Amino acid sequence: MLRLQELLQIHRTRAAAGNATERRVALETIRALEELRAYRQKEPPGAHRAR
């Protein structure tokens, strides 16, 4: 699973390169963040901090 910083970098790179519309990139980023949040909710408390 990607980390927040990686997602933000991908978002910036794709938007700057014009590979996708800003709206599509934003929607993909939001979707990925929601997946990350759901994944972390399944982990034991504090598990993601140990990485």
pLDDT tens by residue, 20-36: 677 777 788 888 888 88
Length of the chain: 51
Which domain does 32 fall in, by range? Answer: 4-50
pTM (predicted TM-score) = 0.47
Number of domains in the chain: 1
More confident residue, 46 or 35: 35
Q: Residue 50 has what pLDDT?
A: 54
Q: Residue 47 has what pLDDT?
A: 63
Confidence check: pLDDT of 4 > 60:
yes
* Contacts for 37 with CB less than 8 Å, ≥ 6 apart: none
Number of neighbours of residue 2 by Cβ within 10 angstroms: 13
